[in-house]
Each structure stands twice: as structure tokens, then as C-alpha cells.
Amino acid sequence: MLKEGDKAPAFALADQTGQLVRSADLAGKTWVVYFYPKDDTPGCTKEACAFRDSQAGFAAKGVEIIGVSSDTIASHLKFAGKFDLKFCLLADTERSLIQAFGAWGEKKMYGKSYEGILRSTFLVGPDGKIRKVWPKVSPETHAAEILAYL
């Protein structure tokens, strides 16, 4: 997993509308990128809705929100529409960005190990360097935790 001070990886991925979003477009901006396992599942929905409900607070601080999972553009579009998500959801179907940030790894559920997306968040500064890493997050309270940090 990337650490504070590391350079955020370059990327070019489509969002829920099919528009290509490039890391170069974020140069000079502060942004938070959060990685989540799957659209429209209980924990991921709570986390996305918490970011949605806190979006004005992030905007007031000049921080853009980007969610990333390996779901498709169509899945993201449906998820965003169902829960009125107005921020960017990137479709990383090849898991290139997920792996570049180190948000892929071993997980355990009911005593069984498997590989999957590690629910984690990174705050990236205008210089493209990671300012803060949250390697494990609580879906319900995480957005508020980031805002308190900012």
C-alpha cells in the first residue's frame, strides 16, 4: 500500500458517465480517492452516501471526491443514480489503479481468506503526493473522519 509522501500513480479511467478522467486533470487540486469493494452493497452504499452527505464540506475545502471499484461503468451509473451520488466513480475493471495504490490484497470473511479490494482512502495534495492514508475505514463514519482531518 502506498504511504504518505509517495507520488500518486498516473491513471486514465472512465467514470460512471463514460467520461475519461486522467490524473493529469487533477494536477494542482486536492483530492480524496477511496477504494471500495462493490457497488450497491450495504457497506459500500453507507460509505458512498456518507461521502455524498459530506460533499459540500469537501467542496468548501476545495477537495474533490473520487470513488474507485472494479465495477463497470454501467454498474457505477446505476449505483450513482440510485443514491444520487454526484461525485466521480471510476470503473477500474482491470484493477490497475487499485493495485497501483496497493488497495488489493488478502481479506478474511467467516474464517476464509480471499483476494479483494481493501477498503482504504488516500488524500492527495496539489503536488500529486499522498498526504494521508487511511488503510482501514469504517464506512459509516469515514467521510466525517476525513473532514475532521482537513
The identity of residue 69, as a single letter, is S
Measured distance CA(32)–CA(49) in Å, rounded: 15
Is 44 a residue of the active site? yes
Measured distance CA(41)–CA(63) in Å, rounded: 25
The identity of residue 2, as a single letter, is L
Catalytic option among 2, 33, 44, 146: 44
Measured distance CA(56)–CA(23) in Å, rounded: 22
Measured distance CA(123)–CA(137) in Å, rounded: 13
Residues labelled catalytic: 44
